[in-house]
Amino acid sequence: MTEDRLRGIVDDLRICLLFSTRLPIPHSAPVGGADLAGASWALPLIGMLIGLIGAAAYGTAAELGLPPLVRAALALAATLAVTGCLHEDGLADATDGLFGGRDRAERLAIMRDSRIGSFGACALIVSLILRVGALAALPSPAAVALALVAAHAGGRATMPAFLRVPAARADGLAADAGRPGTPRAAFAALLGIVALVGTLGPRRGLVASLLLVALFVAMRRLCLRRIGGQTGDAAGALEQLGEVLVLLVAAA
């Protein structure tokens, strides 16, 4: 591997870390949408790191003798802290807009409004309950660690492909980012499949992969029909729903 190629990989990982987390990563310039599109193949790898942070919190809680439900809540809290609730915000805004507006313009306006509505609040509550419940149902800290890595990698694996859907508005993160190249989107999906199969096993990994594909198709269709394309909030909602699906498969 050439030095330039290695530097490019490191830069892509740094860009995805800066976008996806609140970790104190040194950087000389703000991350723009175009930077993220080029680096998007690495999103599942950053998801693995986030999952491991959650697993460390769960393991620490287990060593302290805390009950499974509390361990699960603390693990989820750790991932929320490290990501700054980035995709949770997208889930709330997208749910409010997609289901609360009467027409395309109103739906997009609602999604841009930072205030949370009833649809968004309910979506967040259900998402948090399902994730905590699934983690609490797993039999050991090792199983929780594998599930968290799978969920955070798998949830981000379809985001580059989703960003290839035409943007719903002419401005915003989704429009600024442009469309990630097909090879990068395909590689991110491949990383997600490898992570799912490697952590959940072949059967559960395949089931989770198929569910994520179905989720992607449904979300793409819903966004095209309701708002004429994708937005950054919709991409965040896709990631959140992917996390939930993978954790439910792990706990089933």
Contact 81, 221 (CB under 8 A): no
3-state secondary structure of 167: strand
Conformational region of residue 138, where left means phi above 0, alpha means psi within -120 to 50, and beta covers everything else: beta
- What H or E segment, with its residue span, contains residue 16? helix 3-20
Containing domain of residue 24, as a range?
3-251
- pLDDT per residue over 88-122, tens digit each? 999 999 999 999 888 999 999 999 998 999 999 99
Summarize the confidence of residues 183-199 as an average pLDDT.
Answer: 97
Mean pLDDT, rounded, for 181-196? 96
pLDDT in tens, 204-246: 999 999 999 999 999 999 999 999 999 999 999 999 999 999 9
Q: Closest Cα partner for 157 from 234, 84, 213?
A: 213
Q: What is the pLDDT of residues 115-174, one digit of tens each?
A: 999 999 999 999 999 999 999 999 999 999 999 999 999 999 999 999 999 999 877 666
Stated length of the chain: 252
Q: Is residue 57 exposed (0-12), middle (13-18) or buried (19+ Cβ within 10 Å)?
A: buried
What pTM did the predictor assign? 0.94
pLDDT (average), residues 55-76: 98
* Number of domains composing the chain: 1
